[in-house]
Amino acid sequence: MNIWKLPGEGRLFRATVIVVTSFALAFSLWPAELSFANKEDDLNKQLDDIKDKRGETEKGIQELQKEIEEKKSVLSELEQKADKTLQELDKAEEDLEKAQETLEKYNGQFKNSVRNMYWYGDTRMEKLLAAKSLNEFLTRLEFMRLLVKRDYDVVSKYYKEKEKVQKERDKIKKLSDKQKKEAAKAKKVYDELVTEMKKNESALAQLDNQEKITKQELAELRLDHIRAGNFAYTGPLRYPVNGRITSPYGYRGSEFHTGVDWAAPVGTPMYSAADGKVVRSQTCGCGYGYYIMIDHGGGIFTLYAHMWASSVRVRTGDVVRKGQQIAAVGNNGRSTGPHLHFEVHRGIQNHVNPMGYFGG
C-alpha cells in the first residue's frame, strides 16, 4: 500500500504535488531578486538617515556659527575696551613718572620743612618771646606763621600729589583687571563654541564618509543587478566626453544624423553615460570605425563611435559604471576629424535624440 496516497484522492494528490512543486520552483528563483531589493531598500534607508543626520548637523553648525560671530563681536569689543584701559594705564604711568619727578623736586623742600618743623620749633618760640616790642612781636609772629605755613604746604602738597597719582593708578589697574577677566571669559566661551563646531564638522565628515561608502555599496549592488541581468534604466545620462558639440541630432541637409558629435582632440577620455553592460565592442565597416554599445536597462542603449581599438578599455560582457572611462576620442571610420559620435537608442535599433536624456 502506498502510504503517500489516500483512497480516492489520487487526482487531488497529483494536483497538489504539481502546485507545490510549481511554487517551490518559482520561489527558488525569488530569493536572489528579493535579496537585491531588500538590500537596496536598506541601503537607501541608510542614505536617507545619513541625509537627515547631516541636515541636523549642518543646521547645528550654522547656529553655532552665528553664536561664534556674536561672541567674536563681544570679544572684539571687550578687547578694545581692555586695550583702551591699558592705554589709559600707560598714560597714568607717564603722569605718575612726571609726578614722581615733581615729587623729587619737592623732596628736598619736604625734608627741609619737616626738619625745620622738628628742630626749630623751640628756637622760633624763643625768638618770638625775645621781641622788644609788640610791633616786633607781631612781625616775628607773622614771619614764623608764613614759615610754618610754607613748610606745611610743601608737606601737604607732596602727600596729596602722591596720593592722587596712586589712587588714579589703582583705579585704572582695577578697571584693566576687570576688562581682562571679561575678555578671558568671552574667549573661553568662544573657544568652547569653536571646539563644539569642530566636533560637529568631524561628525559631518564622518556622515559624508558613511554616505560615500553607502553610495558605493549601492553602486556595487546595481552592478550586481546588471551582472545578473536584472536592472532598469535609472538615468539621467552624463555627458560622455568633455568637448564641443559640432553636430546635433537630426537632418543635415538631406542626410539624417542619428546622434550628437562632440569635437575633442584625439586621446580625450570618453566615459560611460550611465551604469550598464557592454553589449558590443567591435570594429564596424559601417562608418563607425570602432564602436561600443552599452545596455543601461529599461530598453535604453548608448553608442560611442570613431575610436581606435588601441584606446578601448572594455569588452563585450563587461559591466561599467557611470563616468567610467571606456575609451578615448579617435578619428576612425567615416570621420572628417577627431570627435565622438554618440547615440541613444530606445531598443537596440531605434535611435532617438540624446539631448533629452542628460541631467540638468
Residues of the chain predicted below pLDDT 70:
1-37, 103, 106-134, 136-138, 140-155, 158, 360
Query: Is 317 within 8 Å of 277 (Cβ atoms)?
Result: yes
Residue type at position 176: S
Q: Which helix (H) or strand (E) holds 157?
A: helix 134-228
Cα–Cα dist 229/158, whole Å? 105
Give the three-state DSSP class for 124: helix
**Res 242: pLDDT:** 95
Spatial neighbors of 215 by CB under 8 A, at least 6 apart, are: 47
Residue with cell 572611462: 325
**8 Å CB contact between 329 and 268:** yes
Q: Where in the chain is the domain with CATH 1.10.287.1700?
A: 54-214
One-letter amino acid of 199: K
Number of CB atoms found within 10 A of residue 69's CB: 11
DSSP-assigned beta bridge partners for residue 194: none
Q: Which value, in Å, is the radius of gyration of the alpha carbons in the chain?
A: 49
Q: For residues 323 and 261, what is the distance between their CA atoms, to the nearest angstrom?
A: 18
- Cα gap 63→200, rounded to integer Å: 11
**pTM reported for the whole predicted model:** 0.49
> In what helix (H) or strand (E) does residue 103 lie, and over which residues does it extend?
helix 10-119
Q: Round to whole Å and give the CA distance between 308 and 264.
A: 14
Q: Determine the pLDDT at residue 136.
A: 66
CA distance 77 to 85: 12
Question: How many residues can be counted in the chain?
Answer: 360
Domain with CATH 2.70.70.10 in the chain: 244-357
One DSSP character per residue, 76-94 reads HHHHHHHHHHHHHHHHHHH
Class of domain 54-214: mainly alpha
Distance CA 54, CA 304 (A): 39
Sorted by sequence, the CB contacts under 8 Å of residue 179 that are 6+ apart come out as 78, 81, 82, 85
At 55 the pLDDT is: 81
Check if the beta carbon of residue 344 is closer than 8 Å to that of residue 294: no
Task: Please state the CATH superfamily assignment of the domain spanning residues 244-357 in this structure.
Answer: Glucose Permease (Domain IIA) (2.70.70.10)
